[in-house]
């Protein structure tokens, strides 16, 4: 019976068909794929941070969400972020980069089931990360306000920033995957 469902899945899903036609070593993320995803995630995080900085310069948001979230975590750990501003800047930048790199590795894992177009795959990925982060993870952990409690201008900046993150991630990962 399970073979029948597998065959049905192969017939119904082009994404499954494409993944089944790959060799066994290409189906799962190996260390090279993970490194590629992490690198693409870091590049995308830098570009995303530029969008957030632009929103801050335009007065659309005050404290960037990565700074806000890291400050809350630091306070929970008994560290006052304002005591050593230089160290705190290194901390939030590192935390934001690590989150972006982890999302990049996750992207490589789910890439086979996303649309072939890096643009569409990136927009979907960026949207899912934004929703998962700001509609679930961060508010649930008490690290960031729920979207209905946040300023609309900051929401707009973050939607754009995550679109830039997702598209950049997909394009950089695609370039790295096809350069060899």
Does the pTM exceed 0.75?
Answer: yes
CB 115 within 8 A of CB 121: yes
- How many other CB atoms sit within 10 Å of the CB of residue 27? 11
pLDDT bin (cut points 50, 70, 90) of residue 84 is: confident
pLDDT bin (cut points 50, 70, 90) of residue 10 is: low
The reported pLDDT for the residue numbered 86 is: 86
């Amino acid at each position: 019976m399970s073979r029948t469902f597998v065959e049905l899945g192969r017939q119904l899903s082009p994404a499954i068909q494409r993944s089944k036609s790959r060799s066994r070593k290409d189906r799962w993320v190996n260390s090279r794929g993970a490194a590629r995803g992490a690198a693409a995630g870091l590049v995308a995080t830098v570009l995303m941070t530029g969008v957030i900085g632009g929103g801050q310069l335009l007065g659309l948001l005050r404290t960037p969400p990565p700074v806000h979230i890291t400050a809350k975590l630091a306070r929970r750990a008994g560290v006052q972020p304002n005591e050593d501003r230089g160290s705190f800047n290194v901390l939030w930048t590192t935390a934001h980069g690590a989150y972006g790199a982890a999302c990049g590795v996750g992207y490589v894992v789910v890439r086979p089931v996303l649309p072939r177009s890096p643009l569409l795959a990136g927009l979907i990925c960026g949207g899912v990360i934004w929703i998962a982060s700001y509609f679930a993870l961060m508010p649930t952990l008490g690290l960031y306000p729920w979207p209905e409690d946040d300023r609309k201008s900051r929401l707009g900046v973050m939607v754009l920033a995550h679109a830039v993150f997702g598209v950049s991630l997909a394009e950089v990962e695609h370039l790295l995957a096809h350069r060899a």
